[in-house]
Structure 1
Amino acid sequence: MATKSLSIRIDDELLNKLHVVADYEGRSANSQILILIRNCVEEYEKAHGAIDKGGK
């Protein structure tokens, strides 16, 4: 599977808080964001069924 990049805009305060949470969990901010995205998708699929791999 190819790895893609995604840029986001985030204010300083929220980014700093993300770093605190990620450090507490022993992860990088990037890894923490991936965990959050995976959890979000998993919860969505539990409620609505599997998402077609084709995308949108």
Structure 2
Amino acid sequence: MKSLSIRIDEELLHKLYIVTDYEGRSANSQILILIRKCVEEYEARHGKIEL
């Protein structure tokens, strides 16, 4: 696993914590779900990303 550090506005971070509490997930898990969804949508439109 790699680590990724992001800069995030304090208000947005607090809102993220509200969403993650509601979903019963950690902020890290929620962000991974959103990243996976983003990649899936991209690949659906543009084809599989080959690494």
Taking structure 2 as the reference length, what is the TM-score of the superposition? Answer: 0.96
Q: Which runs of 4+ in 1 moved over 6 A?
A: none
Give 1:48 shift.
0.3
Aligned length: 51
| TM-score, structure 1 normalization | 0.88
Structure 2 unmatched runs, 5+? none
The amino acid that maps onto 1:31 is: S
Distance in 1 separating the partners of 2:22 and 2:40: 23
Gaps of 5+ in 1: none
RMSD: 0.5
Q: Percent identity, aligned pairs only?
A: 76
CA distance in 1, matches of 2:47, 2:21: 33
Task: Quote the residue 1:45 is aligned against.
Answer: 43
> What residue identity is the alignment partner of 1:15?
L
Secondary structure, aligned partner of 2:13: helix
